[in-house]
Amino acid sequence: MISMGEQALMEGKGRSLKEISEINPKLAKRLVEKAGKFINTYWSHLSSHDLIQVYRNIKSMAQKEERRRLLEYVVPRVILEGHRLYDAGLKVKMNESRPYRPGEEWDHEATLESMFSSGISGPHHLYYELIRAQRKGRTKRAFMVIADKSSSLTDWIHFVAVGTGMVAYAAQWDFISVMIFDKEVEFLKHFHEAKDLGRVIEQVIDMDSGGATDLYKPLEATIKEFALIPLITKKRAILVSDCIPTMGRDPLAMASQLESLNIFFFPHHAGTGRGGLIEEFEKLPNVHIFPINRFDDFTHGIYEVFTQ
C-alpha cells in the first residue's frame, strides 16, 4: 500500500525525488519500489542528470530488481539526451556547406537558402559568391573517451554518461573506445569490439567511484589502443578529469605522443585558477583544455572536438 504522503511525493508535490534521495535515500528507495513498472508515469519530468543522481544515491541499498528497473529506465533517457544534443548542434556544424570552387558539385539546397537570404528569387540573378558546394567525404576518425572515476568526480558522473552517449552517437560511422580509470584502467569498450551503447552507458552510471588517481596509465593505454587503428585515421582522445594525480609517473611524456588530447577539466571550485599539472598540459601544442563548470561547457567541448 502507498500512503497519502508517498503518493503526493510520487506525483511531484513537495520535494523532488532527487532531493529526497539526497536527504533520505531510504524513502527514495521505497518510492522507486512502490512505483514499480509505473516509474515512467511518475518521473518522466525528471532530467537524465537527476535520475542518474537518484540511482547513485540509492543503489547501495536497493535490491537487484529495483536497480535493474531503474537502469532500464535511465539508460534510454541518457541515450536520447545524447542524440538530442548531437542533433541540436553538432549535426548542423558537421553538415555545413562551404563556398563553391570551380569543378566541385553544387549543394543545391544550401545554394537556394543562400539565394533567398540575399533576396534573390530566380537563377537569372544568381552570382558566384552565393553558390555553395557539398562537403567531400572525410577521413575516418577514432575517438577515445577516458573517464576519471576518482571520488572527487562523483558529482559529475552524469556528464560522463551523457557525453559518452553524444560521442558514441556522433561517431557511429567512426571508431570509438571507452575507458575508466583510478589507479588502474578498465576498458568498457575497445575500438574493434562490438558492444551495445546502452550497456556501456549503464557501466558508466553504475561504476563505483573512489581510490587513488594515476594519469600515466590511462594515457599509456590510450596510445596502445590507438596503435591498433589504421595510420590514416584521425585520432582524438577525450580525457575527463580534474587532473590531480595522487600516484604514478609523470603523464606529460605520454600526453605529448598523442595526436590530439582534449582535456575536459573539472576545477574543484568554480572560478579558481588552474594551476598544477593542468598548466603543464596546456603548454603542449597537441593539448586542448576545456574547463567544465556547467553542462553547457561539456557539450560545447564535444562540439569543438568533433569539428577539429
- Report whether pLDDT(124) > 90: no
User: How many of the other CB atoms lie within 10 Å of CB of 77?
Assistant: 20
The contacts of residue 130 (CB under 8 Å, 6+ apart) are 111, 114, 115, 118, 120
Name the more confident of 53 and 146.
Answer: 146
Q: How far apart are CA 215 and CA 56, in angstroms?
A: 25
pLDDT at 153: 72
Pairing of β 175-181 and β 185-189: antiparallel
pLDDT at 58: 86
**Confidence band (pLDDT; 50, 70, 90) for 14?**
very low
The kind and range of the H/E element at 237 are strand 234-241
Q: Is 308 exposed, middle or buried (0-12, 13-18, 19+ CB in 10 A)?
A: exposed
pLDDT over 70 percentage in the chain: 72
Q: Cell for 44?
A: 518522466
pLDDT at 76: 84
Q: How far is CA 118 from the centre of its chain?
A: 38
The contacts of residue 226 (CB under 8 Å, 6+ apart) are 142, 144, 235, 237, 258, 259
Q: How far apart are CA 53 and CA 285, in angstroms?
A: 37
The contacts of residue 45 (CB under 8 Å, 6+ apart) are 12
**What's the whole-number mean pLDDT along residues 214-222?**
96
- Report whether pLDDT(45) > 80: no
Q: How far apart are CA 308 and CA 291, in angstroms?
A: 17
Q: How far apart are CA 221 and CA 39, in angstroms?
A: 40
Report the Cα–Cα distance between both ends of the chain, in Å, rounded.
56
pLDDT at 272: 42
pLDDT at 134: 61
**What's the whole-number mean pLDDT along residues 163-173?**
75
Question: In whole numbers, what is the pLDDT of the chain averaged over residues?
Answer: 78
**What's the whole-number mean pLDDT along residues 52-66?**
82
pLDDT at 223: 97
Q: What domains are there in the chain, each with its CATH number?
A: 4-77 (no CATH), 99-133 (no CATH), 141-306 (3.40.50.410)
Least confident of 101-115, 144-158, 187-201: 101-115
Name residue 135's amino acid. R
pLDDT at 296: 82
pLDDT at 270: 46
